[in-house]
Amino acid sequence: MSDTKDFLDHINQGYTTKGDFIAMGAAMHNGETITNAHVKIPLKTLNRHGLIAGATGTGKTKTLQVLAENLSDKGIPVLLMDIKGDLSGIAAASPGHPKIDERHQKIGIPFEAKDFPVEMLSLSDQNGVRLRATVSEFGPVLLSRILDVTSTQAGIIAIIFKYCDDNKLPLLDLKDLKKVLQFATQEGKKELEKDYGRISTASTGAILRKIVELEQQGADLFFGEKSFEVNDLCRLDDNGRGVINVIRLNDIQDRPKLFSTFMLSLLAEIYGTFPEQGDSDRPELIIFLDEAHLIFKEASNALMDQIESIVKLIRSKGVGLYFVTQNPTDVPDGVLSQLGLKIQHALRAFTAKDRKAIKLTAENYPISEYYDTKEILTSLGIGEALVSALDEKGRPTPLAATMLRAPMSRMDILTDKELKDVLKKSKLASKYNEEIDRESAYELLNKKIEKAEAEEAQEAAKKEREKLNKTSSRSKSAPKSSATEKAIIKVLTSATFIRGALGVLNKLLR
C-alpha cells in the first residue's frame, strides 16, 4: 500500500502543472490503474513535437483522436493526415459503451460524448477542399530537392525560374515547367544562351524524366491554382473550438512521393508564413502525420536535410509536429531527437529484429524505478501506453505506463450521408474547389513560338517576292511570274495557318 502511495506521489509531483493542460489518462502500477494519478501534458510544451508509436491494433489512432479532440476543446486548431480513412468519425459524437464508462471510472475522468468541428480536405479527386500549390511557390531550391536532381540540374532549374521571372512567365503547374524546359533547348535556345549561358539538352531531359515520375504519382493534381492559404488551417468555430482539418489521403498510400512533396511544401509554407511566436503558453497549430514512415520512405538525403531543418525551426512559429508510426525506428534519429512527447503503445517481439528494436526503443525513455521498460513494452494492452512528456520548464516528466482515456467522438468512420452533410457545411470549398487555368508560361510560350513561326514564314515570303521581282524584271513573261508569286504566297500563308491551328489543337488536347 505504501508503495502505491509513493508511486501516486511520484506521478502527481512529476505531472504538476500551473498552466492549462490535457489529461491523457491515469498512470498504472503493478498492472493496476491508479485512479486520479493523472498524466498531464502542458499546452505550453505541445509545440515541442511528439511521437505516437506502437504495433498495429494497439490504439495509436485512438490516441491521436483523443489528443485532437482535447486540443480542439482548448481552442487549438489541428491538422490530421487520414491515410487509412478512419478519422472522419471525429465529426460525430461517440455512441458510448459500458466498457468506456468502466475505463473512465478507473481513470477518474468523467466521460462526455461530443462531436467536433471538422473540415475535410483532399489532395486528389476525393470530395473535400482541394489543396494546391503553384510551382513558383515551391521555388527552385525546394523543387530541386523534391526532384532529387544533381547540382548541375539544380542550377538549370534555378535558371529556368530566373528566366520566367525576367520575362513575366508564371510557373503555375508542371505543364508550364515542362514547356519552359523544352523551350530552353529548342526554340529559345539562342535567347537563353545569350543571357544565362548554355543549357545542356541531356540535363533538361533528365529533369523532364523526374517531373514525369512525379506526375505519375498524381502531382499534376496538386500543382496549380488556387493555392491553399495555410492560415485557413488556424480557424475556430463559432464556439471558440479549434477546427480539426482532416486531409483524406487513403487513395495515395501507394504514392509516397506525392505525400512527401505535399508535406514538405506545407511545412515550408507554414514556416514562411506564420509569425514568430516565441515562448508562448499555447501552440497555434498541431499537425499529426499518420503513417509517418511514408514521408521518409522515398526521401532523398537532400530532402531529409530539409525536413530535419523544418522540424527544428518550425517550433518557434507555435507549430507542433506529431509523427504517428509503428516503430520509433521509422523516424530518422535527427528528427526523433527533437521530439518532446513520446507515447509508446505495445510492440511485438516476434523476431530477433523485433527484439533489437524493442531494446533500442526502451533506451529512448527515462530510467524508472517503477518499470522495467523493455518488459512493459511487450505487455501493454490496447489503449495503454508508456508516456514521457516535457513539463512547463522543458524537463522530462516521470515515465508512466498509462491507461488512456477514450475518444469523445465516434471510433469509426462516417456513413456516406454523414460525410456529404459535413462537406456541405464546408466554409472553404467555395474558395478552393474552383479549378483555375489562367494564362501562364505554357500558353505564353506557345504564342511566342507561333508568332516567331509566322514571322519566319512572312520573311520567307518576302524573300521569295524579291526573288520573283528580280526574275520578272529580266523576263518578258511578267504576267506568268506574277501568277506564280501569288500562288507561292498563298501556299506559305496556308502553311503558317495550318501550323498555328495545329498548335491550338495540341494545346486543347493537352
Residue 63 CA to residue 69 CA, distance in Å, equals 10
| Confidence check: pLDDT of 456 > 80 | no
Cα–Cα distances (Å) from 114 to 24, 92, 355, 417, 500, in that order, read: 17, 7, 40, 19, 62
Q: Which residues contact 53 (CB under 8 A, 6 or more apart)?
A: 60, 324, 325, 326, 327, 328, 330, 342, 343, 344, 345, 347, 361
First to last CA, the chain: 76
- The beta strand positions in 180-318, using DSSP E, are 244-248, 285-290
pLDDT grade for 506, boundaries at 50, 70 and 90: very low
Average pLDDT over every residue of 326-342: 87
Q: Give the up-direction half-sphere exposure of residue 425: CA atoms within 13 A in the CB hemisphere.
A: 14
Whether the CB-CB separation of 27 and 386 falls below 8 Å is answered with no
Residue 411 CA to residue 68 CA, distance in Å, equals 13
Report the predicted TM-score, pTM, of the whole model to 2 decimal places.
Answer: 0.81
| 12-26, 32-46, 410-424, 481-495: segment of lowest average pLDDT | 481-495
Sheet holding 32-42, edge to edge: 32-42, 21-29, 400-404, 384-388, 341-344, 50-53, 319-325, 285-290, 78-82, 244-248, 118-122, 129-130
Residue that wins the pLDDT comparison between 16 and 385 = 385
| Confidence check: pLDDT of 384 > 70 | yes
| 97-111, 308-322, 358-372: segment of lowest average pLDDT | 358-372
Dump the DSSP string for 289-302. EETTHHHHHT--HH
pLDDT grade for 488, boundaries at 50, 70 and 90: very low
**Residues 366-378 pLDDT 10s:** 888 889 888 899 9
Q: 193: which 3 cell numbers?
A: 544562351
Domain boundaries, the chain: 2-131+229-429, 135-222, 441-509
Q: 204: which 3 cell numbers?
A: 533538361
**Residues 180-211 pLDDT 10s:** 998 888 888 888 888 888 888 999 999 999 99
pLDDT grade for 386, boundaries at 50, 70 and 90: very high
Average pLDDT over every residue of 160-170: 89
pLDDT grade for 20, boundaries at 50, 70 and 90: very high
- Return the exposure string of 100-134: e unless at least 16 CB atoms fall within 10 Å of the residue's CB, then b: beebbebbbbebeeebbbbbbbbbbebebbbbbbb
What value does the mean pLDDT of the chain take?
84
Fold for 2-131+229-429, please state it.
Rossmann fold (3.40.50)
**Sign of dihedral through CA atoms 267, 270, 276, 279?**
negative
**Residues 138-158 pLDDT 10s:** 888 888 888 888 999 999 999
| Confidence check: pLDDT of 323 > 60 | yes
Q: What is the pLDDT of residue 448?
A: 67
Average pLDDT over every residue of 475-485: 52
Which long-range CB contacts under 8 A does 159-164 form with residues at least 24 apart?
159/184, 159/192, 159/196, 159/197, 159/199, 160/184, 161/136, 162/196, 163/192, 163/195, 163/196, 164/136, 164/441
pLDDT grade for 118, boundaries at 50, 70 and 90: very high
| 7-16, 461-470, 476-485: segment of lowest average pLDDT | 476-485
Dump the DSSP string for 6-19. HHHHHHHHHT--SS
Average pLDDT over every residue of 1-5: 70
pLDDT grade for 113, boundaries at 50, 70 and 90: very high
Residue 5 CA to residue 34 CA, distance in Å, equals 9
| Confidence check: pLDDT of 490 > 80 | no
**Residues 235-291 pLDDT 10s:** 999 999 999 999 988 776 667 677 777 787 888 889 889 999 877 889 999 999 888
Q: What is the pLDDT of residue 147?
A: 85
| 54-68, 272-286, 304-318, 440-454: segment of lowest average pLDDT | 440-454
